[in-house]
Amino acid sequence: EVQLLESGGGLVQPGGSLRLSCAASGFTFSSYAMSWVRQAPGKGLEWVSAISGSGGSTYYADSVKGRFTISRDNSKNTLYLQMNSLRAEDTAVYYCAKGYYYGSGTCYYMDVWGKGTTVTVSS
Amino acid sequence: QSALTQPASVSGSPGQSITISCTGTSSDVGGYNYVSWYQQHPGKAPKLMIYEVSNRPSGVSNRFSGSKSGNTASLTISGLQAEDEADYYCSSYTSSSTLLFGGGTKLTVL
């Protein structure tokens, strides 16, 4: 069974840092692009970042560019999101999601999603 | 980039059909066929319902269909059922190599 399991969320002060992890299983992790998508409380979905299967190409939303870094360790089947200079508006549930197409360099659609991990930025 | 434009809410009775629109620009919806739709029930993760404008992933009911004309994509749900009540989001690839979601539409089955 294809599964994604996020971890690393929590409460952090404004200006602080947090690293999210997403453990993947049930598919050839290195063959698929991956994304992070977030959802603020009571709000809609917002795409955050994507990374190619090899990790050589990365993409970011303007709202997080320069503050967040996406990476992956294909030997550990794990996706990461390093979040620095956190702001109150980064408070959200963060979902890890698998790209639909085998071998694609980015995520055009996401067909498998984790349950999410909650990040709260507050003093 | 601003979110794609969706109606905040739509409603329909069981058995009826509804359509949700998703309007973007030539830099996203109008420029690519990488348009998708997601269903999200309260407290749950999103589920891919339509990809590449009109394709259904395996396991998704054929009551769900998608289309696109110019800068506007549409999701149609026919034969409405109670379990279709959820939030629906469109998404499009953009000329900036990013993904853009719509603001979401709450579907109420009366």
The string of pLDDT tens digits covering residues B71-92 is 999 999 999 999 999 999 999 9
Identify the residue among B89, B98, B100 best suited for mutation to test binding to A, counting A beta carbons within 10 A and taking the highest: B98
Whether residue A115 lies within 8 A of chain B, CB to CB, comes out as: yes
Nearest-Cα distance to chain A for B27, in Å, is 15
Q: How confident is the model at residue A11 (pLDDT cuts 50, 70, 90)?
A: very high
Cβ–Cβ gap B98/A45 under 8 Å: no
* B21-72 tens-digit pLDDT: 999 999 999 999 999 999 999 999 999 999 999 999 999 999 999 999 999 9
Query: How many CB atoms neighbour CB B70 within 10 A?
Result: 10
* A58-83 tens-digit pLDDT: 999 999 999 999 999 999 999 999 99
CB B106 within 8 A of CB B55: no
Which residues in chain B are closer than 8 Å to A59, comparing Cβ atoms?
Answer: 97-98
Nearest-Cα distance to chain B for A46, in Å, is 6
Whether residue A47 lies within 8 A of chain B, CB to CB, comes out as: yes
Cβ–Cβ gap B104/A45 under 8 Å: yes
DSSP state for residue B32 in the 8-state scheme: -
Task: List phi, psi (to 5°) of A77.
Answer: 50, 45
Decide: residue A101, CB within 10 A, 0-12 exposed, 13-18 middle, 19+ buried. middle
Looking at the DSSP bridge assignments, the partners of residue A94 are: A38, A117
Taking CA–CA distances from B43, the nearest residue in chain A reads: A115
Which residues in chain A are closer than 8 Å to B46, comparing Cβ atoms?
Answer: 37, 45, 95, 97, 110, 113
Nearest CB neighbour to A45, from listed B34, B46, B57? B46
Nearest-Cα distance to chain A for B68, in Å, is 16
Residues A14-43, mean pLDDT to the nearest whole number = 97
Taking CA–CA distances from A39, the nearest residue in chain B reads: B45
